[in-house]
Structure 1
Amino acid sequence: MSPSAGSASKLRGPQETALLLPVPGAERAVAEHRRRLDSAAADGIPAHLTVLHPFVPLEALRARDHDRLEALFADEPPISYAGRRTGWFGGQVLYIALDDASPVRRLTEQVVAAFPDHPPYGGAIPLEDVMPHLTIGHDRPLSELLAAEHAVAAHLPVEDRLDHVELWSGPALAGRTSPKPWRHVRSYRLGTR
């Protein structure tokens, strides 16, 4: 299911990738707000926890990379997700905090150990400072984010069982002023060994 060289050449420009844990159980609480307040939702990306972004560019991923990811994720158990409160990064980013972020953080650490040339957020945030979270909105007027926080709080807690990691790909995120669709490329099951 990995893209062929022919399909990669049909895509315009370099294709970034991200490894994500989709959280479908959170959609009821956040979908309406993410559509307005989170550019990832405008790109077609579902509610999620980021394992690693940016990851290996799509055109550089090889079969051996997918095999390595399959083996890595097969050794990690599914994750019980629970989010009972919202949180903020400054006044810029509103998110649902995880009750226990350590399983997601462990996945990030494992992927970075296997692919050391791809640190979280391009190295902008040290690995030890990465805080897994489910983004509701960012870089919008504070009044809009506060209204979303109030509405989302009425739907908490959010709970889900996360049993796979997804590879998503799309145009580079930096410097964009309008949505550009991303797409699901491949899934890797957790806990199959």
Structure 2
Amino acid sequence: MMNGRKTPQEVGIQLPETKVAAETGTMSGPLVSATPVRNFRRKTDVIHVVLRLLCLFTSVTALSLMTTAKEAATISVYGFSFPVYSKWSFSDSFEYLVGVSAAVVVHSMLQLLISTSRLLRKSQVIPSRNHAWLIFAGDQAFAYAMMSAGSAASGVTNLNRTGIRHSALPNFCKPLHRFCDRVAVSIAFTFFACFLLAASAVLDVIWLSKY
């Protein structure tokens, strides 16, 4: 035709080219750009699970070491021998550490079960921003609590090792060295669990900044 219209034959030739161009644009656009995002989410999900597992292990270790810390011995004050018996429940600071560690064990186990089940189903460990904020608040609160419990228990342990100056109060850790060593290792694992909870909170912040 001379009036500018395309013949049906010309339209039929150009339609496949338009379809191919549309398909090419779709493959090179959103599908390709979404791949790095999925990979990043997968890596963060795996790191979440690993941190939960490590936090569960350290908090259980701190709890078990402290609750089994007890020993009997004899001390000498001004030439007189006295039998002594030490147990974790005799100190309020040690009881505080046990309570906080038990709460962290429950928190870590719950989050580990949820994260692992989601990871095995190949779904996101953190499904929404509200869930991420909730986990962040819990991790941060428990991290501060573990730091507080470890610091309080460290003060009591240091007093047991050094005694009180200008008084007859001896170094209890000399006759009760197994008790003090067990308590010291428990406190060390308490601070390690605090570090892991803080790392998990930082990872939550990174997730929130990305999404």
Q: TM-score, with normalisation over the residues of structure 1? A: 0.24
Q: TM-score, with normalisation over the residues of structure 2? A: 0.23
Structure having the higher helix fraction is: 2
**Which is higher, the Rg of structure 1 or of structure 2?**
2
